[in-house]
Amino acid sequence: MQLVTSTKKMQQLSLLLRRKGKKISFVPTMGALHKGHLSLVKKAKRLGDFVVASIFVNPAQFGPKEDYKKYPRDLRKDKELLQQAGCDLIFAPRVEDIYPEGYLTYVNIDELSNKLEGASRPGHFKGVCTIVAKLFNIVQPDFAIFGQKDAQQAIIIQKMTEDLNFPVRIIVCPTVREKDGLACSSRNSYLNTEERDQAKILYQSLKLGQKMIKAGEKNPLKIIKKIRELINNQKLAKIDYIALTDTQTLEPVRKIKGELLLSLAVKFGKTRLIDNLKICV
């Protein structure tokens, strides 16, 4: 497995691979890898001939009060995990190569970026779209693989890819969960024992919502209320949002029908966790 840090070298390698007819599968990450990321690499291997994973903690997608500085970084461990998962190349650029002095260009999708996560994290998706667009240009992938855990991110990236005509197929893989249902996340490592224990309520509450919908409940407000009550039973939980939205527009639904996204963000202590379920009625 190769490690490339130079953007120019990465782009040259990718162009060479493409000229040889190889299909490049790409898994963008911020490192601190877990089972969820590794499932994306496995999918990438099945799709293409050459798997590139990027490791880059992107400063542009963190707010000024967010955890950019303390975001977990462990390149040595990530390398081992990626090697075992069968990754062919790690692209790990330096911040100053991605955003050199005088950098000015950003990609943004206002319409989708100001809702849900974006409402709580202004500028987050502008940072995500910008880095993913840059990575697409550098890595030149045929396939790019993302996790359903970041549902809004996947929807926005799909839209950006279509709107900007990137010749990339976006693949979204199911959320990987711990045994008790908590979605795997690099941020789970911030949780203390009590917070970690209470955080399992997130999946349980999503499942409750799903169960109500499957049982015929048509009023989104009733579902959100029940979920809110369940989460609030956990004394360390502080709800940011619970939403039932359309999967394309991310607008709240008035009536339960079609394909819906039930999503939430909840803080346990200082750690903000997100999760979601896609539900078809």
Q: What is the H or E stretch that residue 89 is in?
A: strand 89-91
Structure tokens belonging to residue 230: 């369940």
Region binding ligand PAF by CB under 6 A among candidate stretches 38-46, 96-104, 128-136, 220-228: 128-136
Nearer to ligand PAF, 160 or 224 (CB): 160
Residue among 92, 98, 132, 266 that touches ligand PAF (CB under 6 A): 132
Q: How many Cα neighbours within 13 Å face the side chain of 256?
A: 23
Active site residue 124: no
Contact call for residues 173 and 273 (beta carbons, < 8 A): no
Residue among 4, 13, 17, 30 that touches ligand PAF (CB under 6 A): 30
Structure tokens belonging to residue 249: 């527009």
Nearer to ligand PAF, 17 or 98 (CB): 98
Q: How far is the CB of 214 from ligand PAF (least distance, A)?
A: 29
Q: How far is the CB of 127 from ligand PAF (least distance, A)?
A: 7
Cα-Cα-Cα-Cα dihedral sign, residues 201, 202, 206, 212: positive
Contact call for residues 225 and 71 (beta carbons, < 8 A): no
**Could you say whether residue 128 binds ligand PAF (CB under 6 A)?**
yes
Residue among 25, 39, 58, 158 that touches ligand PAF (CB under 6 A): 58
Contact call for residues 143 and 158 (beta carbons, < 8 A): no
Nearer to ligand PAF, 75 or 281 (CB): 75
Count the site residues for ligand PAF by CB under 6 A.
10
Round to whole Å and give the CA distance between 56 and 91: 8
Q: How far is the CB of 29 from ligand PAF (least distance, A)?
A: 5
Nearer to ligand PAF, 128 or 213 (CB): 128
With 0-12 / 13-18 / 19 or more C-beta atoms within 10 angstroms meaning exposed / middle / buried, residue 141 is buried
Region binding ligand PAF by CB under 6 A among candidate stretches 25-33, 164-172, 221-229, 262-270: 25-33
Within 232-251, which residues bind ligand PAF (CB under 6 A)?
Answer: none
Residue among 78, 150, 195, 275 that touches ligand PAF (CB under 6 A): 150
116: left (phi > 0), else alpha (psi -120 to 50), else beta?
left
Q: Give helix then strand counts, H and E, for the chain.
A: 11, 9
Catalytic residue (one of 28, 37, 130, 170): 37
Residues catalogued as catalytic: 37
Binding positions for ligand PAF, rule: CB under 6 A: 28-30, 58, 61, 128, 131-132, 150, 153
